[in-house]
Amino acid sequence: MTRSCCLFAASTAIALATAGVAHAQVVLADTQADFSTTNGQGYRGFQYGVYTAPDVTSGTFSTQNFVPAGTAPNDYWYGGDSFNTPALWAVGQHPAFSTLFPAVRRYTLAMNGEPNYSGLVRIQGSFFDLDPGGDTSGFVTVNGVNVFNAPVPNGGPPGPPVPFDLLVAVTPGSTIDFGVTANGSAPGDSTGITATITTAVPEPCSLILTAIGGLAAAFGRHGRWQLQRWLLA
Ligand SMILES: [Ca+2]
């Protein structure tokens, strides 16, 4: 952060502190709020599809060959396997029934007008069972590297949350994937997912940028980002 930026941001922080305003960092993505089938693949930076390798659960699986689903009937993305699988909808996803390809929703930094951000992001959320008929695992990968992978116990819907809270470095074009694997068989594998991706600012400027986020709140999701980027220029 430059000196002029710090001075401006500091004055902003003081002004907002006086006004009692406090806001979180910039929200880049929200898996549920950003979901759409009517706006096409890539809307708000999200694509919905599969990894073309079966039943990846070990933590050593390949995360390459992400393929977006081709159609979206009835408000879910459909990957062409049997029994309407793989499927991805606003609050959950189901792996492919026959191939056992994991269902994956992918957020790509800077895709389709998403923020052109470099730095740390915090990925917070949880997986949870939506159908006690089958067990699954939920995973998160960033740029093809698996950073979270855990069983999702039955008990739904909704089952007990399997939370994750990850801090990773990204650049424009980085991919952040949220996936559900079949664990050997796919019947009854509907699994819930909720997650947000927010910018994360290391100390000592986190307080200042929190205040900037508050100043920018009225500008909307991407407007907030653009104001913060301008301040950091
Ligand atoms: Ca299963």
Give the pLDDT band (50/70/90) at residue 52: confident
| Higher local confidence (pLDDT), 183 or 31 | 31
Write down the domain spans for the chain. 1-25+203-233, 26-200
> Could you report the per-residue pLDDT of 133-182, keeping only the tens digit for each?
999 999 999 998 989 999 999 998 999 999 999 999 999 999 999 999 99
Cα–Cα distance measured from residue 88 to residue 132, given in angstroms and rounded to the nearest whole number? 18
Residue 27 neighbours by CB distance under 10 Å: 16
Give residue 54 CA to ligand 1 midpoint distance, Å: 12
Residue with the two structure tokens 């200042």: 208
CA of 20 to the centre of ligand 1 (A): 49
Distance, CA 146 to ligand 1 centroid (Å)? Answer: 20
Overall average pLDDT of the 64-90 stretch: 91
CB contact set of 13 (below 8 Å; sequence gap of 6+): 207, 208, 210, 211, 212
From the CA of 134, how far away is ligand 1's center (Å)?
4
CA 30 to ligand 1 centroid distance, Å = 26
Burial of 184 (0-12, 13-18, 19+ CB in 10 A): exposed
Task: Give CA–CA dist 171/120, Å, rounded.
Answer: 9
CA of 42 from ligand 1 middle (Å) equals 28
Output the pLDDT for position 65. Answer: 84
Distance from the CA of 123 to the center of ligand 1, in angstroms?
Answer: 25
Q: How many angstroms is it from 165 CA to the middle of ligand 1?
A: 24
Q: How far is the CA of 132 from the centre of ligand 1 (A)?
A: 10
The amino acid sitting at 142 is: V
Two tokens, residue 160: 């007990």
CATH level 3 topology of 26-200: Jelly Rolls (2.60.120)
Beta strands in the chain (DSSP E): 27-30, 46-51, 66-68, 77-78, 87-89, 92-94, 103-108, 119-129, 136-142, 145-152, 162-170, 175-181, 191-200
CA 201 to ligand 1 centroid distance, Å: 38
How many CB atoms are located within 10 Å of the residue 145 CB? Answer: 9
- Name residue, tokens 């909720």: 194
Cα–ligand 1 centroid distance for 182 (angstroms): 4
| 188 CA to centre of ligand 1 in angstroms | 7
> How much is the pTM?
0.76
The percentage of residues in the chain with a pLDDT greater than 90, rounded to a whole number, is 62
Distance (angstroms) between ligand 1 centre and the Cα of 35 equals 24
Q: How far is the CA of 147 from the centre of ligand 1 (A)?
A: 21
d(CA 87, CA 35): 13
Question: Residue 173 gets which letter from DSSP?
Answer: T
**Ligand 1 geometric centre to CA of 66 (Å):** 20
Out of 19-33, 53-67, 72-86, 198-212, least confident range: 198-212
